[in-house]
Structure 1
């Protein structure tokens, strides 16, 4: 199963929308582009009700993107995020790898907030 969200906004600064909360299915994933520490980065956004968690879209195993196509992420039956390249499986409360080649390592979290129905960098 995969999650697919297209048409997300590309912020250039803190406070600019990464995505509208309504564009991300509850329990689903989306991809957004943002500048983090001066570098253009791909982010994974995960919606849990009215809250959103974000991580860099980089698998700690091999440094590759986790999506199998831009904005399309694999989700296990248990609801975990699965790397499309080598099958590393990440739980969503903290981004820790619970199965696969990087077990025990974590995705790099990125602070985001929900303001006025939009996901933003604080």
Structure 2
């Protein structure tokens, strides 16, 4: 699974407040990463947040059905275009046209109630 590293000058850039993501839900934010500006999916479980590029590996389209609105069911994220179903924890496609592929992870962290790009994506 590929992980994108934030641009050095933007390591601590705040993406959003934790309370802007519903617990058990998701939101989309724009971020400046080392290879350019990207839309990210932020998935929240309690105080933990996982980040992925908002791009389906099947056809390269965004996963949201409307800006920042995602289909979530039973710990999965479903692509609104072709129905690819991804495990929220690891980003693995478990059903649909890109089964076995992964969403591209982006390292994020929660600090003082804010979701930020992590300095170290390893």
Q: Does 1:27 align with 2:27?
A: no
Partner of 2:10: helix, strand, or coil?
Answer: coil
- Specify which of 76, 81, 86 is matched with residue 90 of structure 1: 86
Q: Does 1:60 align with 2:57?
A: yes
Aligned equivalent of 2:10: 13
Partner of 1:25: helix, strand, or coil?
Answer: coil
Would you identify which runs of 4 or more consecutive aligned residues in structure 1 move more than 6 Å? Answer: none
Distance in 1 between residues matched to 2:35 and 2:51, nearest whole Å: 17
Deviations 1:34-68 (CA, angstroms, capped at 9, x unpaired): 01114010000000110100000000000000001
Aligned equivalent of 1:75: 72
Distance in 2 between residues matched to 1:30 and 1:67, nearest whole Å: 9
Distance in 2 between residues matched to 1:82 and 1:57, nearest whole Å: 12
Deviations 1:59-94 (CA, angstroms, capped at 9, x unpaired): 000000000111010112x23100000000001110
> TM-score, normalised to structure 1's length?
0.87
Gaps of 5+ in 2: 1-8
1:17 is displaced (CA, Å) by: 1.1
Equivalent pairs, count: 110
Gaps of 5+ in 1: 1-11
Distance in 1 between residues matched to 2:81 and 2:11, nearest whole Å: 31
